[in-house]
Chain A
């Protein structure tokens, strides 16, 4: 490992969660403006985490702290893998491991809402993972390599080779950002039927760490989306922002779907589109 890769990895470790946090803040500002509210400041998510950190942790199960740390480690590891320009498919699997740990922690909890959220989290995983995986293979096939560096070094924007992957990636971003209509496992508003779903039983410092893991996840997902137009850092940032704002707008104009609709209709449709695109790349 060269010094350059090492510094990139460290930068990814520090910057990616921060960027994810900023994305969460921007999301809240934009949502407030869309709803004609003033909304919180951009840095509000960081203040929230700071406040959570100061609370006494009252775990619902002895196992939750362990799974939170494992989820955080996996999320940060997936950021580092991308930042160091390594294999995107492995990064995808590491990121999926993080989601599994969050669900496992919720399974160990004591509240029925937490367990319900865990079941739903798994169905979400089932819905978005295949299309995300196929999208990653498409990116690799179109650019000629699985490592992030060669995807970013591809000639011209990959978007024009991968138009059918876009609906799938939007779906993935909506699920991973826990946005309506796919905020099925954990709603943002506690008065809804799952309360906080998979997050219900996490508290205090554990929950703060989980929030940071979530930021890291958001950074990974948007980063992989930004490979669609990876002709330069600014273009990548712009592509990521386009996906983020698309998600925010869809969140504000749609109501929650059931997991049956997600699994029975949306997931197969996006998967078929993405696979069709993959077949077409093989034909080239």
Chain B
């Protein structure tokens, strides 16, 4: 049963992806992707019922698997080198060569393979604890929902691009394989296999970002490639050093703090830097920002459930070793710096996708800070944040993508009052953005748990990190309230009360019965709408449901009997308050949606027609509104440089400090 689940989780998506390559028909592809979604969801849930577990399924524990991983250490860099030469991209070539050199050293130079205790000889090839299971569930549930959303999206996308031959088969092949590689990465207990999957995700992200083959897409793809292969260089260097120091490749054995007492943490610092690159931490955020040129499902997948989660997964995996070490402290600062810097960058943006991208980097920074803290409570908070961030950010990306396809712009100023156009999607986006910041939902609860864990520490450096997190947290609140406020600015300036009546009942009913609407539109208007709103509403339900379940998630991860230990006990009473407020609020909304609206207050100036006033010179002046982005504080160019330099210094200190 366990072997079957693991096999399905890793191998099925890869096989289904290859099958996609041969399928030219849309209907067949839909069936295959949705079938994969069902299989992965079932297998992930099946695995969850057995966790925590250790297992050695044949395909991952065999010597063949290790040989494949060893071959992959050469094949991936060789492909990257080929691409680098083909596109004449210096950095890609340099890092691909460095990876090849490291692979050669590992294979022939440094340690005889026999001396390295790989997972085959060790206890288990697969270890599934709370952290792995969290990632597997995220990949198999959120990732597959995004793939389903991609079906109608890519069809419309290609209609928009007017392609002669559809490139969807390749696209869905990479998309599905990506999910399989992610599951393998989450479950494997062997560093070499892990590294192979790590490189595989780099390859997948390169292919997906460059999918549209425009110049911008190619450039972004290559940027993602060189940055992540640089991460790969750090990863391989770290693995080689671990082999040299300890002769180990068993991840569970490596994360034992006893192994590292009195030994330099340099290898782990290198692995942490590799994690920071994947997690798009400052100053490596550029590849994630570039990724938004790709079709929306790609950015949703990279941001929420796959790529960036590799980085935080790696850091959280190593976290027990970091507790109380200098390396850990610098990692806290680096994470807090990204949380602060990226949140500030998000606030200065009017591009909705950039807001989401910077916010992703920021939230991952918070998780990395958790890893730096390394205490069990901090790690649990990090995993809770990982899961809930995946669902919420996936939701937000799908919403923004859908709104973008509807109105043809991703600028927040153009999305103003989009509520009237796409009420269901806009309301889902508002709910998602509020789920990022509001108590008692999970993201806020996670942030709160991190702050309390940080203040339990006794190291003065952590106090600085607390200050940085405080600012980052306020920046995030402002950013998301403004985001949802702009979407909701439903009544444009000067609109007469009566003119919006037609749109208004749709809002109310969509709030109260949005699930039924989602289902009925899915059935009546057709599969396309259903495949768009279906994933959005499922993710919405997931974001809210998981947000409410945060205390229980936390307790499961900590292995406590009592889920409401500590301050977590406050959340359920707050849920009750929130539910009461929700019910009362909806009643009032129902009542007020029938009320006559007031004339807009314009300081007593006469109004000739809606949206304007009669002002100086007796002229009719049109009112225009816009958000204040405070670019003198949060301007992208200046702030990127400043925050990037500080973050780079911290990462150098991370490696340099471990050298000493």
Chain A positions near chain B (C-beta within 8 angstroms): 57-70, 73-74, 77, 81, 86-87, 89-90, 93-94, 96-97, 100, 103-104, 106-115, 118-119, 122-123, 125-126, 129-131, 133-134, 137, 140-141, 146-147, 195, 200-201, 203, 260, 263-264, 271, 274-275, 278-279, 281-283
Measured CB to CB, the nearest residue on chain B to A95 is B439
Is A137 touching B466 in the complex (CB atoms < 8 A)?
Answer: yes
Measured CB to CB, the nearest residue on chain B to A96 is B477
Is B490 touching A195 in the complex (CB atoms < 8 A)?
Answer: no
Chain A interface helix/strand/loop/mixed: helix
Is B601 touching A61 in the complex (CB atoms < 8 A)?
Answer: no
A105 to chain B, nearest CB (A): 9
How far is it, in angstroms, between the C-alpha of A147 and the C-alpha of B569 when the chains are bound? 12
How far is it, in angstroms, between the C-alpha of A125 and the C-alpha of B601 when the chains are bound? 25
Is A64 touching B592 in the complex (CB atoms < 8 A)?
Answer: yes
How far is it, in angstroms, between the C-alpha of A74 and the C-alpha of B508 when the chains are bound? 22
Is A122 touching B482 in the complex (CB atoms < 8 A)?
Answer: yes
Q: Answer yes or no: B458 CB below 8 A from chain A CBs.
A: yes
* Closest A-B pairs by Cβ, 7 of them: A107-B485, A73-B581, A129-B474, A275-B467, A65-B588, A110-B600, A66-B585
A237 to chain B, nearest CB (A): 26
The residue that B601 contacts in the complex, of A103, A126, A195, with Cβ under 8 A, is: A195
Is A141 touching B585 in the complex (CB atoms < 8 A)?
Answer: no
Q: Answer yes or no: B160 CB below 8 A from chain A CBs.
A: no
Is B473 touching A129 in the complex (CB atoms < 8 A)?
Answer: yes
Is A60 touching B597 in the complex (CB atoms < 8 A)?
Answer: yes
How far is it, in angstroms, between the C-alpha of A228 and the C-alpha of B159 when the chains are bound? 65
Task: Give the chain B neighbours of A60 by CB distance below 8 A.
Answer: 491, 597-598, 600-601
Is A111 touching B595 in the complex (CB atoms < 8 A)?
Answer: no
Q: Answer yes or no: B1 CB below 8 A from chain A CBs.
A: no
The residue that B463 contacts in the complex, of A108, A114, A125, A279, with Cβ under 8 A, is: A279
Task: Give the chain A neighbours of B407 by CB distance below 8 A.
Answer: none
The residue that B589 contacts in the complex, of A63, A122, A137, with Cβ under 8 A, is: A63
How far is it, in angstroms, between the C-alpha of A128 and the C-alpha of B537 when the chains are bound? 35
Is B462 touching A282 in the complex (CB atoms < 8 A)?
Answer: yes
B348 to chain A, nearest CB (A): 12
Is B597 touching A126 in the complex (CB atoms < 8 A)?
Answer: no
B571 to chain A, nearest CB (A): 8
Interface size class of B (residues with CB under 8 A): 35 or more
Give the segment of B13-21, B91-99, B373-381, B448-456 that binds chain A: B448-456
Measured CB to CB, the nearest residue on chain B to A191 is B603
Measured CB to CB, the nearest residue on chain B to A268 is B471
Task: Give the chain A neighbours of B473 by CB distance below 8 A.
Answer: 129-130, 133
Task: Give the chain A neighbours of B368 by CB distance below 8 A.
Answer: none
Is B597 touching A62 in the complex (CB atoms < 8 A)?
Answer: yes
How far is it, in angstroms, between the C-alpha of A93 and the C-alpha of B485 when the chains are bound? 19
CB neighbors of A among B52-66 (8 A): none
Is A115 touching B567 in the complex (CB atoms < 8 A)?
Answer: no
Chain B interface helix/strand/loop/mixed: helix
B227 to chain A, nearest CB (A): 31
B254 to chain A, nearest CB (A): 31
Is A108 touching B570 in the complex (CB atoms < 8 A)?
Answer: no
- Contacts A81-B570, A129-B473, A278-B463; is A59 near B488 (CB within 8 Å)? no
The residue that A200 contacts in the complex, of B466, B484, B574, B601, with Cβ under 8 A, is: B601
- Contacts A66-B586, A81-B570, A104-B485; is A73 near B474 (CB within 8 Å)? no
A93 to chain B, nearest CB (A): 5
The residue that B593 contacts in the complex, of A62, A146, A271, with Cβ under 8 A, is: A62
- 8 residue pairs from A and B, CB less than 8 Å apart: A62-B589, A63-B490, A93-B448, A110-B597, A112-B623, A115-B489, A200-B601, A203-B598
How far is it, in angstroms, between the C-alpha of A62 and the C-alpha of B630 when the chains are bound? 30
Is A134 touching B474 in the complex (CB atoms < 8 A)?
Answer: no
Given contacts A62-B507, A97-B438, A110-B601, 12 further A-B contacts (CB under 8 A): A58-B596, A59-B595, A60-B597, A61-B491, A63-B490, A69-B585, A108-B490, A110-B495, A119-B482, A126-B478, A134-B466, A141-B455
Is B477 touching A129 in the complex (CB atoms < 8 A)?
Answer: yes
The residue that A90 contacts in the complex, of B448, B585, B596, B632, with Cβ under 8 A, is: B448
Q: Answer yes or no: B253 CB below 8 A from chain A CBs.
A: no
Task: Give the chain B neighbours of A119 by CB distance below 8 A.
Answer: 482, 627-628
Task: Give the chain A neighbours of B475 by CB distance below 8 A.
Answer: 126
Is B585 touching A130 in the complex (CB atoms < 8 A)?
Answer: no
- Contacts A90-B567, A100-B477, A146-B567; is A282 near B459 (CB within 8 Å)? yes
- Contacts A107-B486, A112-B602, A275-B463; is A86 near B588 (CB within 8 Å)? no
- Contacts A130-B471, A203-B598; is A123 near B630 (CB within 8 Å)? yes
How far is it, in angstroms, between the C-alpha of A179 and the C-alpha of B481 when the chains are bound? 23
Is B507 touching A69 in the complex (CB atoms < 8 A)?
Answer: no
Is A275 touching B464 in the complex (CB atoms < 8 A)?
Answer: yes
How far is it, in angstroms, between the C-alpha of A263 and the C-alpha of B444 when the chains are bound? 24
Q: Answer yes or no: B580 CB below 8 A from chain A CBs.
A: yes
Task: Give the chain A neighbours of B444 by CB distance below 8 A.
Answer: 93
Task: Give the chain A neighbours of B603 by CB distance below 8 A.
Answer: 113, 195
How far is it, in angstroms, between the C-alpha of A279 and the C-alpha of B151 when the chains are bound? 52
What 0/1 pattern do residues 420 to 453 of B give for CB contact below 8 A with A?
Answer: 0000000000000000011100001000100110
How far is it, in angstroms, between the C-alpha of A86 and the C-alpha of B577 when the chains are bound? 15
CB neighbors of A among B586-644 (8 A): 586, 588-589, 591-593, 595-598, 600-603, 623, 625, 627-628, 630, 632-633
Q: Answer yes or no: B470 CB below 8 A from chain A CBs.
A: yes
Is A130 touching B439 in the complex (CB atoms < 8 A)?
Answer: no
Q: Answer yes or no: B502 CB below 8 A from chain A CBs.
A: no
Measured CB to CB, the nearest residue on chain A to B462 is A282
Q: Answer yes or no: B542 CB below 8 A from chain A CBs.
A: no
Measured CB to CB, the nearest residue on chain B to A122 is B478
Task: Give the chain A neighbours of B405 by CB distance below 8 A.
Answer: none
Measured CB to CB, the nearest residue on chain B to A274 is B467
How far is it, in angstroms, between the C-alpha of A181 and the C-alpha of B240 when the chains are bound? 60
Is B439 touching A90 in the complex (CB atoms < 8 A)?
Answer: yes
Q: Answer yes or no: B460 CB below 8 A from chain A CBs.
A: yes
Task: Give the chain B neighbours of A274 by CB distance below 8 A.
Answer: 467
